[in-house]
Amino acid sequence: MGRYITPKPVFVVQNDPTTNAIKTINYPHARIHAGYHYFFKRYQPLAGSATAELLMRIQNDGTYSHMTLGVEAVVSSIDVSFYEDVTVTTPGTEFIPVNRNRNSSNIAKTEIRAVTSQSTGGVLKFDGIFGAGRKSEGSGGRDGNEIVLLEDTVYSLRVEETEGVDTIINWSLDWYELKNL
């Protein structure tokens, strides 16, 4: 009796020609190449003691949004709050996220909107005060700050100016999308 040996797959490893180190890329970067990594960056003037808010909604189709959130103020301190499952009566302007792979025609399934009327309800997920020029926690490294958003759920990222001084805020959202298997 003979034996049948099943061949195993062979993986080709590339080495960097300068350092001879194995070339690897992390998963979020791989999603850029696949055309499923997006960002939204925008500045917004904010009057003293005023509130600004962004909404995020993920479609109900099995796609998960792996997101980092960032906000910073230029002049004064801000109170940054992140809520899950909010209610909004008048969603505002929809912003079109930018696909990080400019060769891809894929469109984000995560919807980003300004808010015309402030959201209500929801569950507070984080809250913090950040001084001028300091970024909120989510704008740092990806591993410790990434959150996987629930599909078919509306989230609110709310900013309130706390010193009564006009300022400018910078919004920074970064995410990749992945179909849950």
What are the structural domain ranges in the chain?
Answer: 27-179
User: What's phi and psi for 175, nearest 5 deg?
Assistant: -155, 155
pLDDT band at 57 (very low <50, low <70, confident <90, very high): very high
Q: Are 58 and 153 in contact (CB under 8 A)?
A: yes
pLDDT band at 135 (very low <50, low <70, confident <90, very high): low
Residue-wise pLDDT tens digits, 79-129: 999 999 999 988 899 999 999 999 999 999 999 999 878 899 999 999 999
CATH 2.60.120.380 holds for 27-179: yes
pLDDT of 70 reads 93
Token reading at 123: 């569950």
User: What's phi and psi for 121, nearest 5 deg?
Assistant: 70, -155
Which residues have C-beta within 8 Å of that of residue 41, sequence separation ≥ 6? 170, 171, 172, 173
d(CA 93, CA 119) in angstroms, rounded, equals: 14
